[in-house]
Each structure stands twice: as structure tokens, then as C-alpha cells.
Chains A and B, each alone.
Chain A
């Protein structure tokens, strides 16, 4: 049963995951929370690990959740399930694209839907961040300082440390020194 649930959940995530990695986070979060597959802390931790390891965040999350809930075959199943909808839809789009010879551009239905989805995706990403702003992630004032510093470093156009990997490593070092 767990295998079926895993498959359906990650198929759903792949099917409705518009807007790439960050936007997909809120979808994963909802599914994972619904079935109690991992705690909120574990979810944040795996997002952190995803940022410093190669590969798409969605694949990383699927593999991790699959393994922790149902072992090796669970990870194979979840990863396959998140890729499968892309395979079906993207292949159809590719066929249509080569057939219509790029005539998608200019179709008002197609273009306007894409434009509006971009705004919804903004909301999805914001909700992913908001859902994580809980006492389990923000344990004390130091957490807020780390949050503010990382946010400023990312937003500032010419900061010396704007790369996510560097920022995660630095905040990990800060955590080690402060909370050890």
C-alpha cells in the first residue's frame, strides 16, 4: 500500500509541478505532511542537502522520501513517479512543437495561461517559505539573524557571498559554533 501511495503522491507532484524546483516544494510539503512521511525539520534538512548536492531538487526529495519511507525500491518508485508525467506531457509537447513548427507562440490561450501561471508560481514559492516559518525551524533570535543575513546576501546585487552553496555552508558553520 505504501508503494501505491508513494507512486500516486509523486506522480501528482510531477504532474502539477509547474515552475521548477522551488515551486514544487510546497507540493512536496503538502503530500509529505498529509501522510506523515517525515517531520517538518527533516523536510527542511533535505531541502538544504538538495541545495548543496548535484541534481534537481525534485529528484533529490523524491529519492530521499522514497528511501526513508519504503527503502531502496521506494526511492526507485518515487523517482520514477515524479519523472513519468514529464515524460508523457513533454513528449506530447515536443511532438506538437515539431509538428506545428513552433506555432505555439502567439496563441493567446497558450501564452496567457503561461503568463498567469508565472504569478501563481510566485505564490507557491512564497507559501513554501511561509509554511516553514515555524518554531521548529526558527528556534530562537539567532535563527532570525541567520535568516535576515542570508536573505540580504541573496538580494543584494553585488554581495561577496550570494551563492546558495556558500551561504548554506556558512550558516551550517554558524550553527555548529553557536548550538554545539
Chain B
């Protein structure tokens, strides 16, 4: 089981570019359609849990499938497989890049790429905001997004505190609501 999970996730890790979300369709094809390790419904539950937990979605999904299929050994195989391709590739790039980055041509390329990266980070926000607001269209929580962005950007508050504050405030608010209902 170790090797099967390792091999499957190695394949997933090698052929997906662009991080966690890009991995999901490939994970579905390998794990649900080809191997039949879990069914469609469990796959959706897995995505929900992988997103709910902190950390990288790809790694979280590897942990879930690994645990479900092969216990501890499965977890080790799947996580190693998911992490190894990017580790090896980036290590090679880091070794080369430290010498190359002084080259004028490389610097010119990155001068063009840098603003594009900022756009690629910012642009998905619209779609994500729409999904987060949902069909009920409650816009008020967007103030929370705004506050978080401003605190980190202008206030230089560490995002860790913003996340902790969100969790604690929400739990308190839900608790008050629940008590009132009883």
C-alpha cells in the first residue's frame, strides 16, 4: 500500500502545476475513477476537510486518502509522493537560480513577470468573494475581509493574529446566539 499510494501521489504531484486547487481534478481521476479507493461523496467530504484544516490542500488530501486506505504507512507514502516532485524541482532551480539571477536577460524576464504575479494573486479574489458571499448575498462579512487586508497591509499585523481573532470571535458570537436560542 505504501508504494501504491506513493506512486499515485508522485504522479499527481509531478503533473499538476499551480498548486492545490489545480490538483483536485487529477486527484479525483486517480483516486476515485481509476483506483476506486473512495467514492464521489467521500471525495467531496475530503475536499471540505482538506480546506478546513490548516496547511496545504494537496498535502491534507494526501493525508486523508493515505489514512483511509493504508493507515500510517499509507499516510507516509502519499505525503512523500505529493511533496517529493516539487521539492526536487525547486531544489534544482534554487541551486541554478542563485547563479543565474544576476544575468541581465533573466532579470529582464523577471521584471516583466513580477507585476503579472501580483495580478495573478489579486484577480481570483473576485470569483472567490462571489463564492464566499454565496446565493444569500450577505455582504456584511466582506467587512471582515477588508479589515483583515488593511490590518496586515497597513498595520503590519501578523496574519496569524488575524486568523486567531477570526476563530475566537466567531466561536464567541455563535455561542451567544446558541445560548439565546435556548
A interface residues (Cβ-Cβ under 8 A, vs B): 12, 14-22, 24-27, 30, 41-42, 44-45, 47-60, 63-64, 67-68, 72, 75, 79, 82-83, 85-87, 89-91, 93-95, 97-98, 102, 104, 108-109, 112-133, 137-139, 143-144, 146-148, 150-151, 154-155, 164-165, 167-168, 171-176, 178-180
Contact = CB atoms under 8 A, between A and B. Distances in A.
B21 interface: yes
A127 B125 CA distance: 11
B93 interface: yes
Interface of B: 13-21, 23, 45, 49-60, 63-64, 67-68, 75, 79, 82-83, 85-87, 89-91, 93-95, 97-98, 101, 104-105, 107-129, 132, 141-142, 144-153, 158-160, 162-164, 166-167, 169-171, 173-175, 177-178
B87 A63 contact: yes
Contact of A126 (B57, B86, B93, B125): B125
Given A86-B60, A119-B144, A168-B117, A60 B90 contact: yes
Nearest to B147: A123
Given A16-B163, A75-B90, A128-B121, 7 more contacts: A18-B163, A83-B83, A86-B60, A90-B53, A116-B141, A116-B166, A176-B108
Contacts, number: 360
Contacts of B85: 54-55
